[in-house]
A and B are shown apart, each in its own frame.
Chain A
Amino acid sequence: QSALTQPPSASGSPGQSVTISCTGTSSDVGAYDYVSWFQHHPGKAPKLIIYELFRRSSGVPDRFSASKSGNTASLTVSGLQIEDEADYFCCSYAGNNNFVFGTGTKVTVL
């Protein structure tokens, strides 16, 4: 199956909000509420921040929120902070015990 499509980059000033899209198909994102989001600072281990579409992992601030509409899932980071600058990628269950990941988005805090 094909990777989920994310914009290569997104940016915002401190305190602003940024929204990242993750577009799949009716066979993955559109079919299941099993979409997760990860934050990845290069050179470090990726961190699960959202699972099961909108649930925040333990310790993740409520500035991070997520949703889905049709075949597109979205992650919103509100009140941007310097430490939010990282790569973000999504992952969706694709049926038959299979998973597909997003192409990744680099978030820059201006």
Chain B
Amino acid sequence: QVQLQESGPRLVKPSETLSLTCAVSGVSITTYYWSWIRQTPGKGLEWIGYIHYNGNSNYNPSLKSRVTISVDTSKNQFSLNLNAVTAADTAVYYCARYNWNDVGVGDFDYWGPGTLGTVSS
């Protein structure tokens, strides 16, 4: 049974870096792509990006300059770093499996329950 669980600091100061981790269980992290998605009060759900353990990745152009997603195969988890945050980055952050075999377009087929990341001084 595939399960994902987000974790990380809930409160970050403006201009600092929001760092979140997604622990994956029930499947090896090397066999799929993995993604971050967020939900803000103002813009709704927004795809942030995805990564494969081999380094293949892609990011939302609107966030690309501030986002890094990485994979830790030894811990079967992946992470999100969003730097230079502002109040507009306050959101519920979800991690999800991006089920894609490099052909066509994949699907976000398993999600975590989400974690609230708040940007405030």
By beta carbon, the residue of chain B nearest A1 is B62
A30 within 8 A of B: no
How many positions in chain B have a CB within 8 Å of any CB in the partner chain?
22
**Across-interface contacts of A32 in B (CB, < 8 A):** 105
By beta carbon, the residue of chain A nearest B35 is A99
Which size class do A's interface residues fall under?
20 to 34
By beta carbon, the residue of chain B nearest A2 is B43
CA distance A47 to B113 in the complex (A): 10
CA distance A57 to B99 in the complex (A): 13
CB distance from B32 to the nearest CB of A (A): 14
CB distance from A41 to the nearest CB of B (A): 10
Beta-carbon contacts under 8 Å, B77-121 to A: 94, 96, 104-105, 107-114
**Across-interface contacts of A38 in B (CB, < 8 A):** 108, 111
- 8 more CB-based (< 8 A) A-B contacts, given A48-B109, A102-B45: A34-B104, A44-B113, A45-B113, A51-B107, A91-B47, A98-B58, A98-B61, A103-B44
Those 4 A-B pairs whose CB atoms lie nearest each other, nearest first: A101-B45, A99-B47, A34-B105, A97-B58
Q: Please, could you name 12 A-B residue pairs with CB atoms under 8 Å apart, sorted by A?
A: A3-B44, A36-B107, A36-B108, A43-B113, A46-B94, A48-B110, A48-B111, A51-B109, A93-B105, A100-B47, A101-B37, A102-B44
